[in-house]
């Protein structure tokens, strides 16, 4: 892809991907236009970071400046593909690609791409740890950490890219072809963006749309939606399962991980040895181990890392035990299924803090799980009314309504007794009250730590 003197529009000046994309394009010789719906005042910090670059701006909405004589448009993940300026660009025949597609064209190293509704970050992080234990040239990023566009140009063919890829990033790919793709699971999510579960699945399927027989597509056999995607990929299909023996992949039998991928029914590791706990994390570990084995990493190195890895921040993260009450931060549970998996992890009496931005999720199954597992439910955010109605329809009335995460912790302190577990697992996105799930989790942890000082 030759970008010298090409006019390229970056749609969406996000702090992470947008800025990194602009800098990359300019360094490749492109003439860059930045188009964003936000004003100059709203983008003050981002514009300061780009102050030394020669850029044409199209702010306060996307005008025709974004498409006039434009050779290509690169969109940031937060920009919906359905907006009118992009539809107009496509009618004009202007290529519209995602930043992840742009990164692919300049990446000499093989790419491992990981997606799914839940568990992506944990699996990507664990996979990255395994690769980092055996080689020097490893980039871990994408939908977590650093945007891939910042680092891929510096990798040789001997390196490796471990990328968490979201449905938003996959919407506008054309040639993106990972050596190994992994889909962990698929349940309804981001329906406010995609419109339907079917469209969400179609976006996720693009992760393997360009794979060939020499590539690998790893699928979760226990998830029926994911399992059925096997017929849609041209990659070599690898399964993992906690419930069934699989012919080519990994599965669980008698508390052991069985390797039927690079060996024949070989005991690879005891489930109890795996550092991250719970059925959802076993799913994540099986995915990461499958990737590592397919990448010819020494089994003993894989085992050592898997034993030592304890998870990621904001995902079932132990925060503190205060007055014999355990506090756990699961702020990364941004949809009902993720929160349900967290509820299945614990045996202690649960006080659950939930609620947040409305992504048009269905809370009926979540309500059933809460009624079954939770002692008291503390609600906040846009979805509080909807979740409360779902709970009351089941006859569950142990509900507290609050306005801030700090108040949620205070209420939890008042109603908890020794042996209880206070769990922040919102089942919703954070953007109605916070800049990200990370900020939500950090505020929760600070409120818990402040209890020690009272």
Which residues belong to the annotated binding site? 116-122
Helix intervals (H) in 322-382? 336-343, 364-373
End-to-end CA distance of the chain: 59
Of 241, 307, 300, residue with least CA distance to 274: 307
Question: In terms of DSSP H, where are the helices of 309-436?
Answer: 336-343, 364-373, 384-392, 405-415
Q: Are 275 and 306 in contact (CB under 8 A)?
A: yes
- 3-state SS class at 239: strand
Which residue has 């818990």 as its token pair? 448
For residues 334 and 438, give the distance between their C-alpha atoms in angstroms, rounded to a whole number.
Answer: 11
- Tokens 């490893």 belong to 138
Nearest to 2 by CA among 77, 71, 90, 100: 71
DSSP state of 179: S
The encoded tokens of residue 448 equal 């818990």
DSSP 3-state of 336:
helix
CA distance to 2, 269, 301, 311, per residue, from 387 (Å): 51, 40, 45, 29
Annotated binding site for ATP: 116-122
Q: How far apart are CA 316 and CA 207, in angstroms?
A: 27
């Amino acid at each position: 892809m030759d970008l010298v003197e090409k006019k390229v529009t970056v749609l969406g000046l996000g702090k992470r991907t947008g800025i990194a994309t602009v800098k990359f394009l300019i360094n490749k010789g492109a003439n860059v236009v930045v188009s964003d719906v936000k004003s100059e005042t709203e983008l003050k910090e981002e514009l300061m970071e780009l102050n030394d670059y020669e850029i044409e701006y199209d702010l306060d909405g996307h005008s025709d400046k974004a498409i006039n004589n434009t050779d290509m448009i690169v969109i940031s993940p937060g920009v919906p593909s359905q907006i009118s300026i992009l539809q107009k660009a496509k009618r004009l025949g202007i290529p519209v690609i995602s930043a992840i597609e742009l990164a692919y064209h300049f990446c000499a190293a093989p790419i491992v791409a990981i997606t799914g509704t839940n568990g992506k970050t944990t699996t990507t992080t664990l996979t990255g740890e395994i690769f980092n234990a055996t080689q020097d040239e490893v980039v871990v990023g994408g939908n977590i950490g650093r945007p891939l566009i910042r680092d891929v140009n510096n990798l040789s063919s001997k390196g490796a890219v471990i990328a968490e890829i979201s449905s938003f990033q996959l919407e506008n790919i054309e040639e993106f072809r990972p050596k190994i793709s992994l889909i962990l699971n698929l349940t309804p999510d981001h329906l406010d963006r995609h419109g339907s579960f079917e469209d969400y699945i179609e976006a996720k399927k693009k992760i393997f749309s360009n794979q060939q027989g020499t590539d690998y597509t790893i699928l979760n056999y226990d998830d029926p939606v994911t399992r059925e995607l096997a017929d849609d990929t041209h990659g070599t299909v690898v399964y993992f399962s906690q419930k069934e023996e699989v012919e080519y992949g990994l599965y669980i039998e008698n508390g052991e991980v069985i390797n039927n991928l690079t060996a024949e029914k070989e005991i690879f590791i005891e489930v109890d040895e795996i550092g991250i706990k719970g059925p959802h994390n076993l799913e994540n570990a099986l995915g990461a181990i499958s990737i590592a084995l397919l990448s010819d990493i020494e089994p003993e190195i894989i085992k050592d890392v898997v034993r030592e890895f304890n998870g990621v921040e904001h995902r079932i993260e132990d925060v503190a035990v205060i007055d014999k009450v355990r506090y756990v931060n699961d702020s990364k549970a941004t949809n009902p299924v993720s929160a349900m998996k967290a509820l299945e992890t614990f045996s202690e009496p649960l006080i659950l803090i939930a609620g947040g931005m409305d992504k048009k999720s269905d809370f009926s199954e979540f309500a059933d799980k809460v009624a079954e597992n939770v002692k008291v439910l503390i609600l906040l955010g846009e979805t509080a009314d909807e979740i409360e109605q779902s709970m009351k329809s089941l006859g569950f009335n142990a509900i507290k309504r609050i306005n801030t995460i700090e108040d949620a912790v205070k209420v939890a302190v008042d109603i908890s007794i020794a042996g209880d577990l206070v769990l922040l697992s919102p089942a919703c996105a954070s953007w109605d009250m916070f800049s990200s799930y990370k900020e939500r989790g950090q505020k929760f942890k600070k409120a818990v730590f402040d209890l020690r000082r009272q």
